Structures are given as C-alpha cells and as structure tokens.
Amino acid sequence: MNIKLTEKFTPVYGPVKSWRYGRSLGIDPIGKTSTCSFNCVYCQLGEIEHKTSDRAIYISTEEILLELQKFSPWDDVDIITLSGSGEPTLALNLKDILQGIKQLTNKATLVLTNSTTLTDPDVRLALNLADKVSIKIDAVNQRQLKGINRPVSPINLSDIWQGIEQFRNQYQGKLAFQTMILSPWNHQAKAEYIQLIKNLKPNEIQLNTPTRPKPLKRQLDGRGNHTESPSYQVQKLRCISKEILEEFADEIYKKTKTPVSYKQEK
C-alpha cells in the first residue's frame, strides 16, 4: 500500500524509498508542527517551527498503531522508521511506540536521531528496543555544530558526545553514523571524526550530501521523497562531488575498517 503524502497529517506515511534502507514505512511521533532540538541548514522539512529539547507526548501511541494497521500486511515494507516531523526521541511515548510496532508487525525498526537526548537514560532504554539506530553526526567542533545543525540552547557538542558514548556502551543493535557533508572537511576535522569512529565503533558510516531540496516554508511532504517538480518553493543546496565523498569514504575505511556507504551527487 503506497499512500501519497498530502498536507493532511497522518502519523504513518510512505513507504519512502531510502538509499540506505530500501522501502521504509515512516512513523511520525511528532505531529504536523515540525519540532526538533536542531534546525539544520539543510533540513528537508524546511525551517523548524517549534525548536525545543523538551520531551512530550505529541501523538498518542494508540493513534499511531491504529494508522499503522491500515498498511497491513506490510509486504512491501523493508523497515519501519521513526523520524518524520523532527526529532523522534522527543516523544515521551517512544518506548511504547517501538514495543507496539514490533508486536503488531514483527518488522525491523529503525530510529533516526540527532542524539541530543541520549544523556537521558529513559531515551537510551527506549532506543534499545530498536533493531537499528542511525545517529546524525555532522560536526566535530562547536563551530560546525552551530553553523550546520543550529541547536537550541544550551545543547553543546560535549554533551552530545557523552550521550552517544553512554548509549553505545549498552546498545546491542546495529548502530550507524549518518553524516551530512556540505563542503570539504580539512585534515583536522577528518582526523577527529575518524578517532570518534575508532572510539565508538559504529557498525556503519553513511556519508551524505544534500541532494534533496529544502522547502522555503514547512511542507509536510518533506517527510518523504520530494517530487522532481514540487508545487512549493524550494532551495537547492550545493552538493559536493562524488569524488570528494568517495575519497573520504576510502580514508575512513582504511583507518577504521568500518563499512562506509555514501550518497553521491545526482
């Protein structure tokens, strides 16, 4: 079952074609108002409407699971992904949602997170229920973090590193680092990133460049794959070349032996 996205909010959407995970059925525990602790310059949702690091129940677990049942038997779904309209770990009912998805579908689950909540033991406990967790790491210093991810105050990089380390020490599923590269990194930034990989030992690295356009205003359709000719105004961001991504991917693998995939320029 493939439902076309509209501006009418539904907490389940897709399946969305993902270059990393195949056909991904999206779960949005955040709601129509985009809500995140980051306001990334490349965000495919457009500018984040509600910037916060506070956790709350935005969409009830019951509503999500009832909507999910409409997609049964999920034959054309490879994975069920919690992402949607912002940072999914801001949902206080994250644990209940993950438990409900597994009981209902028995499909693999993935959570995409910016890791700003990982210092919270309740978040780490909930994420342990996910088969896969993909952590956004776009910055190796505070200047990069502020320039690219634009976090809400008082989030800083040292707290993010601490939370990732605490989570990695207990998580038994598959962990990926997802890194958006907007411009070539210098030698020091690459070295710090590679050292981080050596310390935290993720199962996979995913390098990306912003091939999806950024809506100038919030668009619900931004949760999925933008059409080739969207009906709303978008900003096309400059992508670095395939050669630059490939060179960095090779360097990471040679120095860490961690598998690296990358999204090349269209």
Contact 138/179 with Cβ under 8 angstroms? yes
Q: Please list, in sequence order, all residues whose beta carbon lies within 8 angstroms of the beta carbon of residue 88, skipping any fewer than 6 positions away.
A: 27, 28, 29, 30, 82, 94, 111, 112, 113
Q: Which two tokens stand for residue 238?
A: 């400059």
Whole-angstrom Cα distance, residue 18 to residue 76?
13
**What pLDDT, on the 0 to 100 scale, is given for residue 236?**
78
Domains of the chain: residue spans and CATH = 12-178+213-236 (3.20.20.70)
Residues in the chain: 266
How far is residue 165's CA from residue 188's CA, in Å, rounded to a whole number?
21
H helices of 73-139, in order, are 94-105, 121-127
According to DSSP, residue 3 is labeled B
Distances (CA, A) of 88 to 131, 179, 184: 15, 18, 29
Residue with tokens 């909507």: 67
Confidence (pTM): 0.91
Q: Residue 7 carries which side chain, given as an amino acid letter?
A: E
In the chain, which stretches have pLDDT less than 50? Answer: 1-6, 265-266
Cβ-based neighbour number of residue 104 at 10 Å: 14
pLDDT for res 215: 76
